[in-house]
Amino acid sequence: MTEVSADLGTGRASVGAVLDFAWTANEFTATDAMAATSLTRSTTIDAIDTLVSADVLRELPNARAAGSYRAGRPARRFALSSELGVVIGVDAGDTHLAVTVADPLDRTLVHHRTDLDSGHSPDERRDTILEQLRLRLEEAGSSRDAVLAICIGVAAPVNRDGISPPHPDGFWERTNPGLAAALADWAPIVDVKNDALLAAVAEASDPRGAAIGCRDYVALLAGERFGGGVVVDGHVLHGAHGGVGEGVVFDHIVGVGSAFGLGPALQDQARRALDDGEIAADGPVGELAASDRVDTRALLGLAASGDADAVLVTGRVAETLARVVGVLGSMYDPAKVIVCGAVAESVEPVLTAARGILPEQLHLPAPELLASALGAEVVSLGAVATARRAARERAVPQLAERRLAGR
């Protein structure tokens, strides 16, 4: 039970306890709530009635009306109201924007992904994000008044106030152009968070996540740039400026040399091998390497099929990844490092080679190296999960308090 829930309405912890139970109970009776919360029957019924009067719970047709009543007095049944509002999760990457409007429980109402111009000014970027939020709410048949919580993931460190520190090239300020302030009047709860941190949340909260039940892991966004969401002893690490797991450290690691991720690394190694004459110019990998932009998915597919040139390229990228994971393993001692993002869908040839190299990179036992099953939407999933948690723990209890106070 959350602290806010415990203060709900009349200040009785019983109301908060029943509300917490209702989030996971689907339909329930007073007897169900009493058993789950260890409250007395009269206290449980009083708490339920308080939440019904606040329109947070709704009373369902009883067993007789539902057609399942056989004998005796039919039990009253309850569920969370379907009219509580919506939550919004946003993945605001450098070159893409994904907006998800969902209900507070488990249903996605709208999900829309579009490209962003990486050359946009901070003002243009902020305006684009706000316009997409308006459009997606309209598409979902909802409005700003119904938004309980918003969570936005950005490719930058973010402090606890939603602000990113200055970057030498202005990248972090452009990626997070004052979003916390711009959205302050959109919802009771607005969270701006680092995208890799939200990937870590998704890996532990989504049923397909690779970190279910794991207390020590790193979710490594590794497509265009490296960035890690770090969980130690079950706690997501943050830091004073939100910089835990920031990829700039890899600029200083011999054999890595930059924070650029597996996509750029695959392109660079393919072109270097072609220039050095190590792969055939008329072969499939040589033709990919000679193109304006190397199709990394196709390259990884060739490696998975055993193409010797592709195996050569992916093997060299695996050396880089092993050093990256070795650093993370030495710093945070995770049980798992989960490679996340769109690249995870086809990255297994790199991971296979990296697993053989990894034990040499650190003195501690090497972490398990896995590919995420959540694909390109991993940050979106983490953002929605975070917004739903904020709705459950803070926004809905506050909503109930306002409704009760207004009666």
Within this chain, do residues 94 and 186 fall inside the same structural domain, yes or no?
yes
Answer yes or no: is 167 within a domain: yes
Answer yes or no: is 205 within a domain: no
The answer to whether 106 and 67 are in contact (CB under 8 A) is: no
The answer to whether 71 and 130 are in contact (CB under 8 A) is: no
Q: Which of 38, 58, 83 is the last residue of a domain?
A: 83
Q: Which residue carries 């794991």 as its tokens?
A: 214
Within this chain, do residues 366 and 384 fall inside the same structural domain, yes or no?
no
Answer yes or no: is 280 within a domain: yes
Within this chain, do residues 78 and 90 fall inside the same structural domain, yes or no?
no
Within this chain, do residues 65 and 122 fall inside the same structural domain, yes or no?
no
Within this chain, do residues 107 and 180 fall inside the same structural domain, yes or no?
yes
Q: What is the pLDDT of residue 65?
A: 52
End-to-end CA distance of the chain: 25
Answer yes or no: is 34 within a domain: yes
Q: What is the pLDDT of residue 63?
A: 57
Q: Which residue carries 């690490």 as its tokens?
A: 237
Domain containing 139 — which CATH number? Answer: 3.30.420.40
Q: Which of 68, 83, 98 is the last residue of a domain?
A: 83
Alpha-carbon span 262 to 224, nearest angstrom: 7
Q: What is the pLDDT of residue 2?
A: 42
Strand partners, 145: none
Answer yes or no: is 40 within a domain: yes
Q: How many domains does the chain have?
A: 3
User: What is the pLDDT tens value at each position of the chain, 407 positions in all?
Assistant: 344 343 454 446 888 899 999 998 989 999 999 999 999 999 999 999 999 999 999 999 875 555 555 555 678 899 999 899 999 999 999 999 999 999 999 999 999 999 998 888 999 999 999 999 999 999 999 999 999 999 999 999 999 999 999 988 889 999 999 999 999 999 999 999 999 999 999 999 999 999 999 999 999 999 888 999 999 999 999 999 999 998 878 777 777 767 788 999 999 999 999 999 999 999 999 999 999 999 999 999 999 999 999 999 999 999 999 999 999 999 999 999 999 999 999 999 999 999 999 999 999 999 999 999 999 999 999 999 999 999 999 999 998 888 888 76
Residue 195, CB half-sphere, CA atoms under 13 Å: how many?
A: 30
C-alpha angle 347-349-353 in degrees, rounded to nearest 5: 120
Q: What is the pLDDT of residue 4?
A: 38
Q: What is the pLDDT of residue 118?
A: 85
Question: Quick one: tokens of 287?
Answer: 């033709």
Answer yes or no: is 406 within a domain: no
Q: What is the pLDDT of residue 254?
A: 73
Domain containing 320: what range? 217-372
Within this chain, do residues 259 and 275 fall inside the same structural domain, yes or no?
yes
Domain containing 37 — which CATH number? Answer: 1.10.10.10
Q: What is the pLDDT of residue 137?
A: 97
